[in-house]
Amino acid sequence: MFSTAFLDLPPLSTAEGEVALPGSKSISNRVLLLSALCQGTTTVHDLLDSDDTRVMLAALRQLGCAVAQQGSTVTITGLGGRAWPTPAIELFMGNAGTAMRPLTAALAVQGGDFTLKGVQRMHERPIGDLVDALRELGCTIDYLGNEGFPPLRVGQPQLRLDKPIPVRGDVSSQFLTALLMALPLAAQERDITIEVVGELISKPYIEITLKLLARYGIVVQRQGWERFVILAGSRYQSPGSIHVEADASSASYFIALGAIAQGGGVRVHGVGADSIQGDIRFVEAAQAMGAQVRSGPSWLHIDRGAWPLKAITLDCNHIPDAAMTLAVMALYADGPTTLSNIASWRVKETDRIAAMATECRKLGATVEEGPDWIRVHPLPAGQWRAASIHTYDDHRVAMCFSLAAFNPDRVPVRIEDPKCVAKTFPDYFETLFSVAPADAERIPVICIDGPSASGKGTLASQVAARLGYHYLDSGALYRVTAHAALQTGLVLDAAHESQIAALAATLPVRFDGDRVLLANKDVSEAIRSEQGGMNASKVSALPAVRQALVALQHSFRRLPGLVADGRDMGTVIFPDAGLKVFLTASAEQRAERRHKQLISKGISAIFVDLLADLRARDARDTSRSSAPLKAAEDALLLDNSDLGIEDSVQQVLAWWQGKTPF
Ligand code: DC
């Protein structure tokens, strides 16, 4: 996940490959509760790992369900038929609406002594309509705080099932879902009827509930969208194993990607055209715009079809979330695209109509908007502007606008607060990068070169962290090479150059945070010693060794960008880097820093020896014939003698910002 202040997307053009998407939140929590209510053991595959599911799992454990979790697979033994726990239980629901509502209903119908509470925000989210319906049915529920809001206390019910149970449908479809999942527990002897009061909203979510209930053996007779009858004798039965579909709204970005990008197409795993999620109908909208979509059981394959995309006019009431993706696709269309019946956009994470209009305009587009519609005009080549996209703490705004990186003018796009995608898709950008490679020369690189102990490693890794870029510690590669050579019994001199180079060319090295692994063995401490540095300096003077490490160093140039430190990053390895910094500080100052650093780690060190070593390394690194240490002609000099780390970081970031169009 990118937790940086912003993420700069370089221009992208192609996409090819396969992606697995996170599970649907709505399906995940329904399946967990149904598995807990049924008879038998259920293995749930591809469960979404999110705050909401964690809350539900914790509650189910507290209620006495046997839960075993391994990665995204969870095995649950249901409570069906067994006695529920009798002692009072307090359940903490966090801010998970998808856990609070259905659990309240299930516990209230089943009866016991339960307290359900959550975080402050949960105590501000209304639940009165559900409680009213449950009380109508004979459940015992008390408000422990404000009337109509959690926390709640649930007691023993005296169920009255003889007349229809009214529930409001125009506030939240979750109330109806909660009743539909709870009432089969009470439908042994008679049919139970639920009557929806008011126009039912979010019907696709009720369809998900009904389809999942069917998988657990419960048949509900639906009369229009007004009456739902749970038949007498209904009994929850485990399906044995069940797969949670990937989130169809999350799939919309990759469907759009396949339609927009050149290349061999994108395959999405985890959700197919037979999906039970309403947002899967985004596929039809994407096809209308030109996407070529094939699908099978739980997969979709998307290729570019019509290009430019075809403009559409569409009532989007059935796909409110996924329709935001259409607004960005519209920038690549052959005429204005109008999305209507989207009043709900105004009251989501942010006012999404205003947000989409504002941010599309920043890119240069003409956008018209009304109370419940938006019209996006295409943005022809030559008119795209590099823009810093504000994301309003709205995951969908962030994900949508990543698609603007495919613009024909090859301008970069900045996504502010990229971590907001965590709400539904923490690894969204990583997943995008895994199928949308950029040409190496388009991937930004910052080089930080300088002598030993100048602090370039700390500076480079900090700059990388602030930008969300990859980090290459090239010195570590020479250190590891020397270490591997010595272990093989080689002497680090010119006589063994070709053997050491052969080792370097196939070095099984891996970086894991600040740990360096050689053939999966942690060699971080060993190579970072003073002796390790001297040894590295020796092998680094051998031209064949330097040559052998070039490809490995180039392989670090990956999206979204790279910060590389060393001696020849700017001169030899990445001569086209967008920013080159050459750090300087006198040998005395560097020796003093190193001295302090070693002492603080409890390693005894003598200042004059360190100074002599540094001078020896400086001399060898600057006088060697192959790639000697020197500043690139276009490098900016940074004398950090009197600067703290943060000052240096800010200086480099300021230089970098000056090179971007944002
Ligand atoms: O940056 P460092 O102290 O970890 O580097 C160890 C040695 O490796 C250094 O003395 C010179 C050599 N080196 C190099 O020649 N070229 C690089 N790009 C990085 C390091």
Ligand 1 centroid, distance to 638 Cα (angstroms): 19
Q: What is the pLDDT of residue 121?
A: 83
Catalytic residue from among 321, 394, 449, 613 = 321
Please list, in sequence order, all residues whose beta carbon lies within 8 angstroms of the beta carbon of residue 454, skipping any fewer than 6 positions away: 583, 584, 585, 590, 640
Mean pLDDT of 426-437: 96
Q: Are 583 and 459 in contact (CB under 8 A)?
A: yes
Query: What percent of the chain shows pLDDT beyond 90?
Result: 81
Determine if the pTM surpasses 0.85.
yes
Question: Closest by alpha carbon to 344, among 317, 375, 325?
Answer: 317
Confidence band, pLDDT 50/70/90 cuts, at residue 295? very high
Q: What is the pLDDT of residue 96?
A: 86
Pick from 525, 530, 556, 567 the residue to mutate for probing ligand 1's pocket: most ligand atoms within 8 Å of its CB. Answer: 567
* CATH superfamily, with its number, for domain 473-559: P-loop containing nucleotide triphosphate hydrolases (3.40.50.300)
Q: How far is residue 89's CA from residue 117's CA, in Å, rounded to a whole number?
A: 11
pLDDT value at 81 more than 70: no
| Least confident stretch, 310-314, 341-345, 648-652 | 341-345
Residue with CA nearest ligand 1 atom 18: 566
Mean pLDDT of the chain: 94
Ligand 1 centroid, distance to 634 Cα (angstroms): 21
Q: How far is residue 295's CA from residue 573's CA, in Å, rounded to a whole number?
A: 44
Tracing tokens 């703490």 back to the chain, one arrives at 393
Domain range 439-469+561-662, CATH class: alpha beta
Mean pLDDT of 62-72: 93
Q: Which atom of ligand 1 is nearest to the CA of 452?
A: 3
pLDDT value at 553 more than 90: yes
Could you tell me which residues are beta bridge partners of residue 449?
Answer: 566, 582
Strand (E) positions, 485-590?
509-512, 515-518, 521-522, 562-566, 579-584
Ligand 1 centroid, distance to 540 Cα (angstroms): 7
CB atoms within 10 A of CB 566: 28
Q: Report CA torsion sign: 269, 275, 276, 281.
A: positive
Q: What is the pLDDT of residue 641?
A: 87
**CATH fold label, 25-243:** UDP-n-acetylglucosamine1-carboxyvinyl-transferase; Chain (3.65.10)
Q: Are 116 and 151 in contact (CB under 8 A)?
A: yes
Residues within a 6 A CB radius of ligand 1: 452, 474-476, 478-479, 533, 536-537, 540, 566-568, 617, 621
pLDDT value at 187 more than 70: yes
- Which 3 state secondary structure label does DSSP give 11? coil
pLDDT value at 603 more than 90: no
Q: What is the CATH number of domain 6-22+248-435?
A: 3.65.10.10
Q: How far is residue 483's CA from residue 490's CA, in Å, rounded to a whole number?
A: 10
Residue with CA nearest ligand 1 atom 13: 475
pLDDT value at 77 more than 90: yes
- Residue spans of the domains in the chain: they are 6-22+248-435, 25-243, 439-469+561-662, 473-559
Tell me, yes or no, if 409 is annotated catalytic.
no
For residue 561, the surrounding DSSP H or E stretch is none
Residue with CA nearest ligand 1 atom 5: 475
Q: What is the pLDDT of residue 566?
A: 95
Looking at per-residue confidence, does 619 or 333 come out higher?
333
Ligand 1 centroid, distance to 599 Cα (angstroms): 23
Q: What is the pLDDT of residue 95?
A: 84
Residue with CA nearest ligand 1 atom 10: 537
**25-243 and 473-559: identical CATH topology:** no
Pick from 474, 524, 542 the residue to mutate for probing ligand 1's pocket: most ligand atoms within 8 Å of its CB. Answer: 474
Q: Which atom of ligand 1 is nearest to the CA of 553?
A: 18
pLDDT tens-digit readout, 264-278: 999 999 999 889 999
Looking at per-residue confidence, does 605 or 115 come out higher?
115
- Written in H, E and C, the secondary structure of 186-220 is HCCCCCEEEEEECCCCCHHHHHHHHHHHHHCCCCE
